[in-house]
A and B are shown apart, each in its own frame.
Chain A
Amino acid sequence: EDKVVQSPLSLVVHEGDTVTLNCSYEVTNFRSLLWYKQEKKAPTFLFMLTSSGIEKKSGRLSSILDKKELFSILNITATQTGDSAVYLCAVGHYKLSFGAGTTVTVRA
């Protein structure tokens, strides 16, 4: 059975801090790892990673994948209150298996 584990489950930081979210996986069919941000409603797409060691960046967010050690990290620098959300990691090949998510709370 596919397994996607995210850590920590939740964290609280202050504006301006940097956060690092972890995602480890064990799946039978791997093709890509995706990160999503979920606020009140459905998840919004952040990154898709398919190759090891290549960092993807979008503004203050960045992510990297290690296919040998089977994990990925998502970094958010200079956090803002608008970054408060649940961050979901999903892994798969055609169908996605989701982790439980990390709840990030950024306090002003």
Chain B
Amino acid sequence: GAVVSQHPSWVICKSGTSVKIECRSLDFQATTMFWYRQFPKQSLMLMATSNEGSKATYEQGVEKDKFLINHASLTLSTLTVTSAHPEDSSFYICSGRGGVDEQFFGPGTRLTVL
């Protein structure tokens, strides 16, 4: 149980384009989903908390207009990186909140911006 999927697993795009990443909880309802980014050899940095049916809460320093988050249903949250630049290249991971504090992570999306 507690499976989270992400799509795509890997994406390459040109600078200036937008990229959408989907995160789905497959066998549980996630009223809350979290979006993280991870740079090579670094830990996970929380970007935003996404609650179903309401606006996402962004961590300090994360531009909400650049990283658009939509959590339209209990099983789907999307992250859109708008006008992507090479410095946005990273590993993006979502998680769904299962129990009180347990988070179950998706397999991640590797974004490369050329």
A94 to B42, Cβ gap below 8 A?
Answer: no
Cross-chain contact B105 with A32 (CB below 8 angstroms): no
Q: Are the C-beta atoms of B43 and A100 separated by less than 8 Å?
A: yes
Q: Mark B72-114, 1 if CB is under 8 A from A, else 0.
A: 0000000000000000000001010001111111111000000
What class of interface size applies to chain A in its complex with B? 20 to 34
- Interface size bucket, B side? 20 to 34
Q: What is the CA–CA distance of A36 and B45 in the complex, to the nearest angstrom?
A: 15
Known A42-B93, A43-B44, A88-B43; contact A94-B108, beta-carbon cutoff 8 A = no
- Chain A residues with CB below 8 A from B43, complex form: 88, 98-101
Complex Cα–Cα for A43 and B43 (A): 11
Asked if B67 is an interface residue, CB under 8 A from chain A, the answer is no
Within 8 A of A (CB), among B10-27: none
**A22-39 to B contact mask, C-beta < 8 Å, 1/0:** 000000000110101000
8 contacts between A and B (CB under 8 A): A32-B101, A34-B101, A41-B108, A42-B105, A45-B105, A48-B102, A95-B46, A101-B43
**What residues of chain A have their CB less than 8 Å away from a CB belonging to chain B?**
31-32, 34, 36, 41-45, 48, 88, 90, 92-101
